[in-house]
Amino acid sequence: MMLIAFASLTFGISLAGFACIALLPAARSPATLVGLPFWLIMVWGPSLAAILLSLRSDELTPLLGRAVRISTVPTEVWGLVAAPLVLLMVMKLFAPQDPTSLRFGTAVLMVVFNLVLGPLGEELGWRGLMQEDLASHLGWLEASLLVGIVWFAWHLPLWTIDSPHAQVSLPLFAIHCLLYSIIIGAAYHISGGSILPAILLHLNFNLAANWAVFAGYRDPDAWFSASALPYALIGVAAAVLVYLKTGESGLRWLQFSG
């Protein structure tokens, strides 16, 4: 019942924001004063839904506390958090085009922009509530894949308007959503419920995709295509890390059959 309420609130809030964006041409970009409020409503659907549901059950303080908890995060997880940016630095060597300079001020603005219009608005919901609830019934990997599918579906309206997401091949984006969800889910699972690694990983996935333009991947599909296999390998490494730390395969049916 809780997951139905979460999904209903998340999609309801986000689609309300998206409807305003779709109907108002001046709101099509989040970089405008007209568009920013509606993009914030759309992007913050998952976290707002989690906040509202947590308020109802008197669990808001623990939820927010898990968003900044560091003490339960093992050292290995910080390696996963850094992986997208390390991957970008390595793949810059194989970029199809020459790199261009990225000014420090621009980089800082992109960090803030991506943090607010990304993981802060989503991860309290996707991992802090949905992954947490699903993992109490399923293995962590099964839960991560289900979150990834819903996460991908939540993004789909962006392909109906002229948005940055619409410049990326839909199948490629779907693959990345699932891979990101596995990596984030693994980091979340072995961090004792801390949402902080999920927020930072989500941020770094977005930053890597944005900064790839400056690294020489000016066609968005070029980055998403070239990085799919490396991210798959990182996903495998994350699953192995979970197994080494917890002994869990992430597949509840496999554990039962064993």
pLDDT score, position 228:
97
Residues in the chain where the model's pLDDT stays below 70 = 253-258
pLDDT score, position 204:
98
pLDDT score, position 143:
96
Instruction: Determine the Cα–Cα distance for residues 45 and 203; give it in Å rounded to an integer.
Output: 17
DSSP states of 54-85 as a string?
HHHTT-HHHHHHHTS--TT--HHHHHHHHHHH
pTM greater than 0.75 (yes/no): yes
pLDDT score, position 257:
44
pLDDT score, position 25:
85
Q: Treating both helix axes as pointing N-terminal to C-terminal, what angle do 196-215 and 75-91 enclose, rounded to 10 degrees?
A: 10
Instruction: Determine the Cα–Cα distance for residues 116 and 110; give it in Å rounded to an integer.
Output: 10
Residue in the block written with tokens 């295509």: 225
Q: Contact 191/73 with Cβ under 8 angstroms?
A: yes
